[in-house]
Amino acid sequence: MAQALDKNSVVAVIGSGAMGSGIAQVAAVAGHTVRLYDTRPDAVAQAIAGIGKALARLVEKGRMGAAEADLARERVHPMRALEEAKDAALVVEAVVEDLDVKRDLFAELEDVVGPDCILTTNTSSISVTAIGATLKRPERLAGMHFFNPVPLMALVEVISGVATDKAVADTVHATAAAWGKSPVHAKSTPGFIVNRVARPYYAEALRLLLERAADPATIDAVLRDCGGFRMGPFELMDLIGHDVNYAVTQSVFHAYYGDPRFAPSVVQQELVNAGFLGRKTGRGFYRYGEGVPMPQAQAERAQPCPAQVALGGADPLTAALEARLREAGIAVDSKGAAAIFLTDGRSATQRACDDGRPDTILFDLLLDPANATRIALARADQCSDAAWNAAVGVFQKAGFTVSRLDDVPGMAVMRTVAMLANEALDAVNQGVCSAAAVDIAMQKGVNYPRGPLAWADAVGLRHVFTVLSNLGATYGEDRYRVSPLLRRKLAANPDGARIHAQ
Ligand code: NAI
């Protein structure tokens, strides 16, 4: 195990904007003397004042003692010139996202700091290898990618460029852990872990909207209430800003040479064209402002519950759902002619045709079937109103709000989770990070309720494979190609394949 930097050592933070001030705060709270620098007049003074306020809020909330906060605040010192970084054991760069600016800065720093000083960059999208390429000693540069807001978000992606010394990356990792963060190692590749693996969360939602599965409010509610995500994809994109989110998607898409997995959406492009950038402009997918109500998610009207229902499928989710229905006093006939199934990546209409059963209804993936408040259903075009109303009545009696999605293949949550897991599997397969790292990254960096790979294990890798294969067959697009690692796991252990050991 590598040692963290001594907490009495000096940390220099270059760039005192949103990220730099947060990083300075975290390092100071961890005990380091911090030197803070910026080229913009007043930026450092503003950042130090902001850190003081943030620490005072922590004291007010009882999360930090007043004396501890005072000490942390006193450890942050303004730096008037880069030369003052000469005693630093660690430099964290958080200046503008521009390769030339970062290279020039590190070239200057290299002549100032001592031979053992570790250099790190907080870049979110530039190759760490490229930033290091013009250094005399690129082996001492690593990425130290924090998430916004730094004091609250636990994840730090520790990025190794081609030339980065492993010992340097290990020290940065151990230091981030000593600062109370959850660090993960990753290779310098476009999007690193989070900005790559999270792309399907936006991309599949935009695709669902393009294909008119439902309106944004309904899709958001389904991802929140059925999938357990803290925010739905449309409200999240409105918060991030469509200019920013669209630019990241385009950058990852181009960086992977136009891989259709990462293709941007014309739906989002039009929002950018319109200047509807989200919350910051008062309009994105939703409208914002005093007294403007948020649209409600679609919900089916109350229907009577039939005496009996038949669910199909031997998967764990269907079993859990069956238990909930029985608890609600509904007779579940597991041997009867089932018409209600967990989505397998085919549309209900296709499945009705394949099975010769017109009354086919599909339900979407649920994170927590025992406690979920909403369930999403889709009906085959051939399905009778009587069968549909009966299914709606059953789930309503078991305490669900029922939202109808139009009959899109893979529904919303299943399709999103399968694609998140598929991307995570490719990142692991390509040696970007470990399976454990990707799950930590998505939980700690973007608050996912469960790591995508642990989620794939829970759904069953065979089912995830079936969903992706059926999406691929339906769309005929390379976007839904199955990760080679998923195929390999299933070939090695057809019935019991898992990513994480149990
Ligand atoms: P920001 O615009 O709030 O702050 C950047 C600061 O750097 C400004 O105060 C600017 O005056 C200063 N600066 C510019 N050139 C400089 C130079 N040569 N020397 C010293 N200071 C200089 O930007 P923010 O959001 O803090 O981002 C900083 C870095 O962190 C970027 O590389 C960004 O991609 C990355 N990042 C940003 C995240 C975010 O959510 N904002 C998340 C993770 C990484």
Q: What is the pLDDT of residue 301?
A: 98
Domain parsing of the chain, residue ranges: 10-188, 198-281, 308-404
Active site residue 185: no
* 254 part of the active site: no
Residue nearest to atom 13 of ligand 1 (CA): 95
Q: Which CATH number fits domain 198-281: 1.10.10.10, 3.30.1280.10, 3.30.450.40, 1.10.1040.50?
A: 1.10.1040.50
**Of 110, 122, 127, 157, which one is the catalytic site residue?**
157
Ligand 1 pocket, mutate which of 21, 36, 38, 105 (most atoms under 8 A from CB): 38
Ligand 1 mean position to 462 CA, how many Å? 44
What architecture (CATH level 2) is domain 10-188?
3-Layer(aba) Sandwich (3.40)
Residues within a 6 A CB radius of ligand 1: 14-20, 37-40, 43, 94-97, 101, 105, 122-124, 146-148
Question: Chain-centre distance of CA 169, in angstroms?
Answer: 23
Which residue lies with its CA nearest to atom 36 of ligand 1?
124
Could you tell me which residue, 340 or 333, shows the higher pLDDT? Answer: 340
Q: What single string gives the DSSP state of each residue in 434-484?
A: -HHHHHHHHHHHH--SS-HHHHHHHH-HHHHHHHHHHHHHHH--GGGPPPH
Contact 231, 237 (CB under 8 A): no
Distance 237 CA to ligand 1 centre (A): 21
pLDDT digits (tens, 9 = 90+) for 288-320: 999 999 999 999 999 999 988 888 888 889 999
Which ranges of 179-256 would DSSP assign to H, the alpha helix?
Answer: 194-197, 199-210, 216-221, 233-240, 242-255
- Residue closest via CA to ligand 1's atom 11 equals 40
Tokens standing for residue 229: 């995500």
C-alpha 486 – ligand 1 centre gap (Å): 38
Closest Cα to atom 40 of ligand 1:
148
Question: How far is it, in rounded angstroms, from Cα 392 to Cα 403?
Answer: 9
Q: Which residue from 25, 91, 124 has its CB within 8 A of the most atoms of ligand 1, so it is best to mutate?
A: 124
Of 268-282, 308-322, 349-363, the range with the lowest mean pLDDT is: 308-322
**Ligand 1, closest atom to CA 95?**
7
Active-site residue (options: 16, 122, 124, 127): 124
Q: CA Rg, the chain, in Å?
A: 25
* Architecture field, domain 308-404: 3-Layer(aba) Sandwich (3.40)
124 tagged catalytic: yes
Determine the pLDDT at residue 335.
Answer: 62
145, 173, 242, 463: the active-site residue: 145
Query: What is the model's pLDDT at position 337?
Result: 63
Query: Angle at Cα 39 formed by Cα 176 and Cα 26, nearest 5°?
Result: 20
pLDDT digits (tens, 9 = 90+) for 197-208: 999 999 999 999
Residue 358 pLDDT > 90, yes or no? yes
CA distance 502 to 473: 32
Considering the candidates 127, 195, 251, 483, report the single residue annotated as catalytic: 195
Q: Are 393 and 303 in contact (CB under 8 A)?
A: yes
Q: Using the predicted structure, report yes or no on whether residue 334 has a pLDDT greater than 70.
A: no
Q: pLDDT band at residue 231, thresholds of 50, 70 and 90?
A: very high
Residue with the bigger pLDDT between 48 and 1: it is 48
- 307 and 336 Cβ atoms separated by less than 8 Å: no
What residue's CA is closest to ligand 1, atom 44?
124
* pLDDT value, residue 351: 96
Average the pLDDT over 422-446 and give the result. Answer: 98
- Distance from Cα 15 to the centre of ligand 1, integer Å: 6
Determine phi and psi for 120, rounding to 5 degrees: -135, 155
Same topology for domains 10-188 and 198-281, yes or no? no
Mean of all residue pLDDT scores within the chain: 96
| Residue 333 clears pLDDT 90, i.e. is over it | no
428 CA to middle of ligand 1, Å?
Answer: 29
Q: Express each pLDDT in 134-173 by its tens digit.
A: 999 999 999 999 999 999 999 999 999 999 999 999 999 9
